[in-house]
Amino acid sequence: MNSALTLPGMCWPLHATVGNIAVTTSTMSGHFRAGAGCDGLVLCDLLPAGKFRNGAVRHWCRTHQCYWGTKADLADFAASQQMRCKQHASPMGYMLYPDVLDVSDYHAITLDYLDDGTLRLQAKANNGGTLLVRDVSALAIDSRSLPGLFHPSIVQINITPPAALAYVAALRSGVALGCIDCPRCAHPHLDLGDFALSPHRRHLCGHCGYDAVHGVAACVSTPLQRLRDHALRKPGHIKHWF
């Protein structure tokens, strides 16, 4: 296979109950056949993540959202000389060159989720009042334009299709929503799929793999809820958030 490309973009596992959308880089590395799709092959991003219950050292793959370090992983490493997780060849959803919204440049921002999964963004430019209207399937929010809301190492919140879908499902079902920061890496926890519909107290961090992130009360956690709380405090800035 040709060597991987590193490009601005976002990717997401096609089936996952946790995710990593509060990212420290706007780029990703992998193999992509189009501007967007469901068949991206993205390189693993492995970091040490404590130990398995049997004492074996483990790593967490931030890209594919799974642990590395089982006997099968070690055997694959010995054979391939590559440290890669068991999901390394699984196709992923991706979008290259997504819109990145710097919210400090706009006011009266509205973000709607349409029935077909489209994100409809409307915003008035602070400079001149021009109306920005965008229909997209994924959108990045430049979090550095919202100082204090997220850990300073986070550069953007990637509103991926599964993150938007899970958030809307949680909102509509009326479950307790919150946004819990991991005590190890300070990144906001994201619940997806079934986990976004059943509030729980113990969470697995999709950024560092720490599996004992405890909330005070059971909830569904997503950074999109923290952005909603911001919107409720400053309705002139963000008028509607999902």
Window contacting Zn ion (CB under 5 A); options: 7-15, 56-64, 73-81, 102-110 = 56-64
The helix-helix angle for 161-173 and 223-233 (nearest 10°) equals 70
For residue 163, which of 147, 185, 140 has the smallest C-alpha distance? 140
Residue 7 touching Zn ion (CB under 5 A): no
Residue 203 touching Zn ion (CB under 5 A): yes
**127 vs 107: CA distance, rounded Å:** 10
Which of 124, 134, 144, 184 contacts Zn ion by CB under 5 A? 184
Residues touching Zn ion, count (CB under 5 A): 15
At its nearest, how many Å lie between Zn ion and the CB of residue 8? Answer: 20
Residue 22 touching Zn ion (CB under 5 A): no
The sign of the CA dihedral 98, 102, 103, 106 is negative
55 Rama class: left (phi>0) / alpha (psi -120 to 50) / beta: left
For Zn ion, the closer of residues 88 and 103 by Cβ is 88
At its nearest, how many Å lie between Zn ion and the CB of residue 214? Answer: 10
Residue 208 touching Zn ion (CB under 5 A): yes
Residue 73 touching Zn ion (CB under 5 A): no
For Zn ion, the closer of residues 144 and 200 by Cβ is 200
Other beta carbons within 10 Å of 83: 16
Residue 224 touching Zn ion (CB under 5 A): no
Window contacting Zn ion (CB under 5 A); options: 49-57, 78-86, 164-172, 223-231 = 78-86
Residue 119 contacts residue 137 (beta carbons within 8 Å): yes
Residue 188 contacts residue 167 (beta carbons within 8 Å): no
Residue 44 contacts residue 64 (beta carbons within 8 Å): yes
Binding site for Zn ion (CB under 5 A): 44, 61, 63-64, 85, 88, 182, 184-185, 191, 203, 205, 207-208, 210
